[in-house]
A = this chain, B = another copy of it.
Amino acid sequence: MFKHEKQLFHPVAIEKPNPQYAVLLQEQLGGGNGELKAAMQYMSQSFRIKDPKIKDLFMDIAAEELSHMEMVATTINLLNGHDVDYQTVDAGEIQTHVILGLNPGLINSSGYSWNADYVTVTGDLCADLLSNIASEQRAKVVYEYLYRQINDKKVKETIDFLLNREEAHNALFREAFNQVENTGSNKDFGVTEDSRLYFNMSSPSPSNAFGNTSANPPEFNN
């Protein structure tokens, strides 16, 4: 069961309204590496996990991601100001001004709707954990791009906080991966000859570049 507390997970603020910055931030509300994607991915995966500690971890992070989503949306809402006016937007989506009435929407920075194809779920814990580690790294990268382009000190603080939380989740998912790494899709890894060949399909190729690693299952050096 989910409960909502009115206090934000971490306070947010803005220096002043800036609807273009709101457009940029939309990427982490309704985009492919955004907070909703993260929340839905970990929550969905948790529904079939049997190990209570891992299940707990997934739901902990999912609930935190929902709380990040609320922080991002609250910031967008502040940045959007008080009047619909497409002229405050230089580039990107204008759905905010023609249909959303300045309400944060589930779209990315160019106006494309969020969809569940962003969410990867396989029922295999090793695969799902690797997906989550990659997702957190991508989320971090998007926050870095936003950080460089948004010149509002308060919003930058929020971005910095959220970016660091992605790193924390990344580390937690790796810790969990190392606990389950001899299970599921990791178990019968690299047993045939076919899993150890390197095919050179692209020419001319730099010599001796890759292929020395035998096909062991993934393992993090945490």
Contact = CB atoms under 8 A, between A and B. Distances in A.
Name which of A2, A102, A108 has the most chain B CB atoms within 10 A of its CB.
Answer: A2
A61 B175 CA distance: 29
A122 B109 contact: no
Interface in A166-210: 167-168, 170-172, 174-176, 184-185, 189-190, 192, 194-206, 209-210
B215 A167 contact: yes
Interface string A22-46: 0110010011110010001001110
Q: Top 9 closest A-B pairs, CB basis?
A: A101-B123, A110-B111, A106-B116, A63-B201, A115-B115, A164-B194, A221-B221, A130-B134, A167-B195
Interface of A: 1-9, 20, 23-24, 27, 30-33, 36, 40, 43-45, 47-48, 52-53, 56-57, 59-64, 66-67, 70, 73-74, 76-77, 83-87, 89-95, 97-124, 126-127, 130-131, 133-134, 137-138, 140-142, 144-146, 148-149, 160-161, 164-165, 167-168, 170-172, 174-176, 184-185, 189-190, 192, 194-206, 209-216, 218-222
A114 to B, nearest CB: 4
- Chain copies in complex: 6
B185 A57 contact: no
Contacts of A130: 130, 133-134, 137-138
13 contacts: A5-B203, A47-B77, A64-B199, A86-B91, A89-B90, A98-B108, A99-B109, A114-B116, A124-B138, A130-B133, A131-B137, A168-B197, A171-B190
